[in-house]
Structure 1
Amino acid sequence: MNRAQTKLTQGIDWPIVGLYLALVTIGILSIFAAEYRGEGNILGDIIHPTKNYSRQVIWFGVSLVLAAIIWLTDSKFFTATANLAYAGGLLLLLLVLGIGKDVKGSHSWLVIGGFQFQPAELTKLCTNLALAKYLSSQETDFTKLRSRLIAAAIALIPSAIIILQDETGLALVYFSFFLVMYREGLPGILLVIAFSGIVLVLSALLVDKIVLFAIFTVITALVIYFSRREIKRKRSRLAIILGVYAFCSFFVMFVVPFAFTKVLKDYQVRRIEVMLGKENDPKATYNTRQSMIAIGSGGVWGKGYLKGTQTRYDFVPEQSTDFIFCTIGEDFGFAGSIIFLAIYVALLFRIIFVAERQRSTFTRVYAYGVASIIFFHLAINISMTIGLAPVIGIPLPLVSYGGSSLMTFTMLIFILLRLDADRQMVLR
């Protein structure tokens, strides 16, 4: 019996399993704390069938069944069906556009019988598999532009469809796959350009355009002055400097205003303005203000489990889903929040460790995809709750309430565990 059990669990990375179980447990306890009102029998509340925490326990049970099925599946199945899974994911996304259900302003839900789920969550897994399949192919030369464009298309096609579903938050998650591409050889200059674009957008929103134009002019003049010797040797450098100056000026003067008035919707603009402190409407800033009040009220050590007032009395919106971190911050304070985030950091580092010990390119790329998705969700969700990012509806991995999210992250992690367990047998 012991030998059979040992063989069944042979090769499993227990640190990842332990961290996974810790986060799911924290999530269920936090959802309970967010919904507990201190009335009646606490045991009766725990087994209440209509509460989100009871449903989350059920979703956790379903997730464990999926994890067991994945663990008993040959790892070659995931490489063989990666492209088929991607095609199926795209088909589901397109199906949502036709027969999807609107939930809280997002047309991104499919309803089958009494069960509803978001294909945009599941498609993250499908996209990760397809990207790993493509980048590990013997025919793929990622030093060539064509290969990089194909990889970018694999990541961005689902994102474009999801944007049509008015689910901007989940659409942005697909940009996390560019971190995977960077690990596989995408030039770092592209990430620098992307970061510079974000800085330009923020500058255009925070600084008067005339002042910003003057700053660009002064910086360009200084660059030309200190580069005058190089410019004499190579005239093309002057053209490059002036080209960057013209592009930046045009971008902040025309592109950003056009995007904010003609492309983005009103609620998206308001969310960005709330983040930047430019929105004074109490209704628009309510979510973020209440979130920050709840977290701040926890102080250093917190009020204690089930003793939070901001979350218990429904001051914080969506406190079981997007703003679940508020419950942790209020009940356990700064110290508890740091310990909680340390669990995520430990999980991310462990996944990266697992990725780097792989002999299979497919598994390494897939592992970095899992780490990138979790990191993006974590960074945006926490930033959202403390006012550093606009409220875009991204759940906290394994912690926020939601069956689609919990099952997707469970499958992402356990497919990685299955692939890692076979690393000695799988060649490129």
Structure 2
Amino acid sequence: MRQDDLYINKIDWLTIFIYGALVCIGWINIYAAVYDEQAAKSIFDFSINSGKQLVWIGTAVLLITLIMVADYRLFENLSLILYGLFLFLILITPYVGKEVNGQILSIGFGNFRIQPAEFAKFATALTLAKYMERPSVDLSQPKYQMQVLLIIMIPVILICLQPDYGSAMIYSAFFIMLYREGMPQKYYALALTMVAVSLLALGIENNLYLVAGIVLVIIIIILLGKKSVGRIISLSLIGLLAIAYSYSLDYVVSKLPQHHQNRIMVLFNPDLDPLGVGWNVTQSKIAIGSGGFLGKGYLEGTQTKFDFVPEQHTDFIFCTLGEEFGWIGSLVVIFLFCALLIRLIMLAERQKNRFSRVYGYCVVSILMFHFTINIAMTIGLFPVIGIPLPFFSYGGSSLWSFTILLFIFIKLDSHRIQLLGRMS
């Protein structure tokens, strides 16, 4: 058997099939989101979003072809160059980019524009994999923890300066990969504690109630456990830190732009401003709920037809699915995403070298974070931060970046035998 035939046989066609299914379902929902019954146009009409998305899908297929015919070693060799390139593009975006909805996030020429922050995700993933493939890297040691944190934080800081806090938040997904690669569990316990305190601090209007609760919990733990002086001092310090953190969080939130503060407040009080900042989420939940079990039917969504949900073809595309295809349609799409993530975890675990495994878990982390947060956002379980649903939402930068991210890993997986040969 020729080497080319062996390579074709090693391609994971199941992952490609799931990718294709998600892209196609997303495409028909983009058409539904912009469908106008009074002036109906063909789904292939290039003057509307579905036609434009079809162009992006076609160019994505071209990108897939280029990735699959390229030398698999190219991605590892170019990782640092790509990382530096996209950091540079993020840095210059505020100065040469185009303003859309009050933000300057994209650059380009004429009608062709890309969002560098989207593409920096796969470049950062490749750079992390390149760095962590070295046998000496041990994430139990602070030296290496700081170095991987630096790789992640540089793009985060640059993106925050734009500012684009939603895109910056996505980079926290890399900590899922770091957990698999040996980052100490104590950091994750601390992070979960901070999240819990943050939710309580933001959800409880008066911080004095939170302080009283923390003190009460500490007293109960001391009474139920050993009453040593060291234990009492340690718990007291933890309590003081939690209290200080809750007050400092209030200060940080107060310095955010007003629309970001409003989005956070609406999460805890959906009725705070139903006709203003709470409009998107309220209408999204109405659209999803009105779909019922089987949905209203394709192109029959009333919430969709009358444009009740802004940005319905991008960040809120899931509510179109929920309204027109109901619980069943939503379940099918969620199943496809879960199947994709499970399959990618299986592929990552079967890799023969650390570079491919680390990159594979980066892919899993980013896709899982986007999928979870986007759907949670549309049903009111997470603040609206403006991140797309992978392979589903309208937009060239989004589709291209996710396609490149995924298919680089599919390419690496298809050459895992050769990668094993390089190690030996």
The aligned counterpart of 2:49 is 52
Task: Please show how residues 166-315 of structure 1 align to structure 2 within 5 Å.
Answer: 166-207=163-204, 208-228=206-226, 231=228, 235-252=229-246, 254-262=247-255, 264-277=256-269, 280-281=272-273, 282-315=275-308
Q: Quick check: 1:24 aligned with 2:17?
A: no
Letter in 2 for 1:176: A
**Distance in 1 between residues matched to 2:366 and 2:88, nearest whole Å:** 21
- Stretch moving more, 44-53 or 312-321: 44-53
Letter in 2 for 1:119: P
- Stretch moving more, 280-289 or 319-328: 280-289
Q: Give the secondary structure class of the aligned counterpart of 2:298.
A: coil
Asked whether the equivalents of residues 152 and 178 of structure 1 are also in contact (C-alpha less than 8 Å), the reply is no
Q: Quick check: 1:121 aligned with 2:118?
A: yes
**Distance in 2 between residues matched to 1:147 and 1:192, nearest whole Å:** 20
Letter in 1 for 2:290: S
**Distance in 2 between residues matched to 1:352 and 1:239, nearest whole Å:** 43
**Distance in 2 between residues matched to 1:308 and 1:152, nearest whole Å:** 45
The count of aligned residue pairs is 419
Describe the superposition over 1:207-239 as per-residue Cα deviations: whole angstroms up to 9, x where unpaired.
Answer: 23222211111111111222225x2xxx43332
Describe the superposition over 1:105-164 as per-residue Cα deviations: whole angstroms up to 9, x where unpaired.
Answer: 222111223311100000001000001111112332222101011111111210111111
Identity %: 39
Letter in 2 for 1:316: V
The aligned counterpart of 2:156 is 159
Q: Give the secondary structure class of the aligned counterpart of 1:424.
A: helix
The aligned counterpart of 1:64 is 61
Q: Give the secondary structure class of the aligned counterpart of 2:294.
A: coil
The aligned counterpart of 1:331 is 324
Aligned pair in 2 of structure 1 residues 68, 213: CA closer, same or farther (>3 Å)? same
Q: Which runs of 5+ in 1 are unaligned?
A: none
Shift of 1:8: 6.3
**Distance in 2 between residues matched to 1:389 and 1:375, nearest whole Å:** 15
The aligned counterpart of 2:9 is 10
Q: Which runs of 5+ in 2 are unaligned?
A: none
Describe the superposition over 1:307-328 as per-residue Cα deviations: whole angstroms up to 9, x where unpaired.
Answer: 1111111111111100000110
TM-score, length of structure 2 as denominator length: 0.95
Q: Give the secondary structure class of the aligned counterpart of 2:42.
A: helix
Shift of 1:9: 2.4
Task: Please show how residues 314-353 of structure 1 align to structure 2 within 5 Å.
Answer: 314-353=307-346
Letter in 2 for 1:26: I
The aligned counterpart of 1:403 is 396
**Distance in 2 between residues matched to 1:39 and 1:206, nearest whole Å:** 44
The aligned counterpart of 1:414 is 407
**Distance in 2 between residues matched to 1:204 and 1:39, nearest whole Å:** 49
Describe the superposition over 1:348-373 as per-residue Cα deviations: whole angstroms up to 9, x where unpaired.
Answer: 00000000001110000101100110
